[in-house]
Amino acid sequence: MDTVDLAIVGAGPAGAAAALAARRAAPAARVVLLDRAAFPRDKVCGDGIAPHAVDVLRALGAADAVAGYRPVSRLRVRSPGGQAALRTLARPDYVVPRAVLDARLVAAAQRAGAQLWRWRVRRVAVEADRVVLDGAIAARAVVGADGAHSAVARALGARRHDGRDLAVALRAYAPAPAGPPCQDIVFVAEDRPSYAWSFPIGDGRANVGYGARADRLSVGRDGLLARLEAALGPTGLDPATVRGHLLPLSTGRPAPAQGRVLLVGDAAGLVNPLSGEGIYYAVASGALAGAAALGPRPATRYARALRRLLGRHLRHTALLARLLDAPAVAEAGVAAAARRQAPFDDVVEVAIGAGTLTPRLAAATARGLIGGR
């Protein structure tokens, strides 16, 4: 049986961030990343990398994960009722295909001293002083970064997400629209909350897609593609790149840790219920878990650090997700963002970072509701 200090199940952004943080916290530790895939590999995602995620990667020594990709500084949001807000982002973000991003982060973790093993974990046994994976790997601690269908989360007894706490995303690649680069988000009236997106990569392509809450969907794959094209216009997407994925929303997240086992990213149900964004949550939670995993009381330390960073934000996004079930609230929010830069900035912060429902955003939305009536 192989014995390691830390086994990280899943080598996506959350797992790679955990490996980088663990090697920084304990340079002599034997850290292994376990993933069934060979890198580079594709991953269904909108490919957007928020500046908050870049901040985390920079602190981990992996800022070059976005090197060579031009920042995108404009965002347009459209509501089902025709409201539109087109503004400059306070801090630009990036669009980097996951085939590139994930491979770069794995390489950074390897340069930092972590080992990458091609391995699909099926069984997790938590013992008094160690965690045993598949009867073959014994680790002082384990980080579960193995996504929406996490074997590690199941071993901790985490309940399965139901339709209210799951989103379905369909993604493809298409020629980028003409004109200056601009990210587009178009909220759709059917099966709300749902929206289509177009994110230009900078290499002549755009990541296009459609996402909706699973319990609201009334159409299948072809219907989703039709709605995507209805929202964005003809995209010319490449059918070979169409792929779907389940997103476990933070409104149904399990406990993030027990004993020597810590959950991060999608495995921890850390996907923003307003936007479907998960990369910032992934690298932020991975970094916190990696820093805590090999110290005393890892579960307590990690849960406390995660609560400090995201606790208030997660409560506010859960509240906003319920409020946005009312069409008038969504319309008023977009209208407020269209009128003034400050509410627009607040919406962006809560959708892709760790922002909260600020008094000025609440007031601007309330004024929109009153005006709408």
Closest CA to 247 of 275, 261, 266, 274: 266
CA 232 to chain centre: 23
The mean per-residue pLDDT over the stretch 257-270 comes to 97
Q: Which domains are assigned to the chain?
A: 2-42+95-160+249-319 (3.50.50.60)
pLDDT on residue 262: 98
pLDDT on residue 368: 73
Which residues have CB under 8 Å from 360's CB, separation 6+? Answer: 342, 343, 346
Cβ atoms 17, 290 nearer than 8 A:
yes
Task: Inform me whether the pLDDT recorded for 205 exceeds 90.
Answer: yes
Task: Inform me whether the pLDDT recorded for 284 exceeds 60.
Answer: yes
Please name the amino acid found at residue 33.
L
Characterise 37 by phi-psi region: left (phi > 0), alpha (psi -120 to 50), beta (else). beta
Cβ atoms 367, 336 nearer than 8 A:
yes
Q: How confident is the model at residue 39 (pLDDT cuts 50, 70, 90)?
A: very high
Cβ atoms 310, 277 nearer than 8 A:
no
Which residues have CB under 8 Å from 356's CB, separation 6+? Answer: 312, 313, 316, 349, 350
Task: Inform me whether the pLDDT recorded for 350 exceeds 90.
Answer: yes
Spell out a b/e string for 252-277, using b for 16 or more CB atoms within 10 Å of the CB, else e.
bbbebbbbbbbbbbbbbbbbbbbbbb
**Better-scored residue on pLDDT, 161 or 193:** 193
CA–CA separation, 102 and 57 (whole Å): 12
Task: Inform me whether the pLDDT recorded for 23 exceeds 80.
Answer: yes
Please name the amino acid found at residue 248.
P
Task: Inform me whether the pLDDT recorded for 163 exceeds 80.
Answer: no
CA atoms within 13 A on the CB side of 131: 26
Task: Inform me whether the pLDDT recorded for 373 exceeds 70.
Answer: no
Average pLDDT of the chain is: 94
CA–CA separation, 50 and 60 (whole Å): 16
Query: pTM of the predicted model, to two decimals?
Result: 0.96
Instruction: Please give the angle made by the CA atoms of 116, 100 and 270, to the nearest 5 degrees.
Output: 75
Phi/psi at 106 (nearest 5 deg)? -60, -45
Instruction: Please give the angle made by the CA atoms of 353, 359 and 361, to the nearest 5 degrees.
Output: 60
Q: How confident is the model at residue 312 (pLDDT cuts 50, 70, 90)?
A: very high
Beta pairing partners, 7:
32, 142
